[in-house]
Homo-oligomer: A and B are copies of this chain.
Amino acid sequence: MNLIATGDIAKTFAKDILLDPVTRGTSDVVHVITGIASSSSVESAKRFYAGVVQPRQSSSIDCSTYGSYKELVEDPAVDLVYISTPHSHHFQNCMLALNHKKAVLCEKPIAVNARQARKLHEVAKEKEVFLMEAMWTRFLPLSVVIRQLINDRVIGDMLRVYVNNSIGTAVETLDKSHRYLNLALAGGALLDIGVYPLTWLFQTLYHTQDPDLRSPPSAISSLVEFHESSGTDQMVSLIMRFSMPSNSRLKVAHGIASTSMVLPDTEARGGPTVHIYGLEGEIQVWGPAHRAQSIKVIPKPGHGQPWERSFPIPAQGHGMFWEADEAARCWLAGKLECPGIPWDESALVMDVADEIRRQVKIVYPDEIETTEYPVQLGARLS
């Protein structure tokens, strides 16, 4: 794995993937970090190596450091890159890597709008290079089990899913340049934390359907509240309709999502944060929606007792290693996309975000909305 960007998310990701895979039951994949690029200076990359990678990785593994992303992607030794820049920069960074035929695992959301996402998929296809959105929540074993329970029809036809994801950030203490408050970085709740509720709606109500029968959600309505001085969105509630298989009772299900920067993350101590309602019962998800910890399955009255199952994240990890394992498997197998988060779903999530932004007029600078490449972006990265 080669890292593009050296911020907090890169640090969490690197620590995770350098843990012994046996601790999470993985035996077919081992990760190593062979390249690190900082946009500011090679010293930054070297500091990241010394502080994060070196203490965890065998010294027999070479790891190069670069003072620019361009240098990294131009290195013929580089194969798979992990991009963790702000999402405002994903399109340009992914284009850079794909154009150099590097396989890409890019942090969520993969772009700031659906046009950009689809353009990336086109380029990946054209260049025959692997591209995957790093929506790690979908690869938690808990998520995999829930999709299996749905497919096993444990709660029968689904009629409604409600998801909340809030992070209790003291927004008023943040500098205005912080990515949460910075429109030039596509800051705000919708793209930063709202993508988690959306991924829950998609992985439960869309991804569990036969791929040939999936259709995009419709009738999207939203309520959005803004941070006064920065103009970024800080709280979003939305409802939308998903078409369900023709043999399902109502043929539709409702997706309800809510997200807030400032609401405290009480779910960590008293969930549930996701309610998946079906005709035969309910699945509840406990713990923060982005990093859920346990599930409770409640059969409908008279059909057995509720049961619970915990999914602790092993080895004091954050839980990003499972997506890294999956990315590595897909890439090694020569796939272009990961079946766990197919390109069409990455783009559809952006369609929903685009529609909400259209409804309430959330507008980012042209330079981060464009599908032109290359464009030098103005906002400084930390």
Q: How far is the CA of A240 from the CA of B221 in the complex (A)?
A: 10
A306 touches B270 (CB 8 A): yes
In this assembly, does A264 line the interface, its C-beta being within 8 Å of a C-beta of chain B? yes
Q: Is the CB of B282 within 8 A of A159?
A: no
Bound-state CA distance A272–B296 (Å) is 12
A301 with B168: in contact, given A159-B260, A234-B250, A277-B263 (CB under 8 Å)?
yes
A219 at the interface (CB under 8 A from B): yes
Interface footprint category on A: 35 or more
- Interface hit among A1-9, A37-45, A251-259, A367-375: A251-259
Taking a contact as CB atoms under 8 Å apart, the answer to whether B264 and A279 are in contact is yes
**A275 CA to B162 CA, complexed, in Å:** 11
Q: Is A223 interfacial (CB 8 A cutoff)?
A: yes
Report the separation of the CA atoms of residues A331 and B272 in the bound assembly, to the nearest whole angstrom: 42
A337 within 8 A of B: no
Q: How far is the CA of A240 from the CA of B268 in the complex (A)?
A: 26
Question: Is the CB of A329 closer than 8 A to any CB of chain B?
Answer: no
Q: Roughly how many angstroms separate A268 CA and B160 CA in the complex, as a whole number?
A: 18
CB-contact partner of A239 in B159, B164, B238, B250, under 8 A: B238
Pair A223/B237 contact, Cβ less than 8 Å: no
Report which residue of A252, A266, A306 has the largest number of chain B beta carbons within 10 angstroms of its beta carbon.
A266
Residues of A within 8 A of B (CB): 159-160, 162, 164, 166, 168, 219, 221-223, 225, 234-235, 237-241, 249-250, 252, 254, 256, 258, 260, 262-266, 268-270, 272, 275, 277-282, 284, 296, 298-301, 306
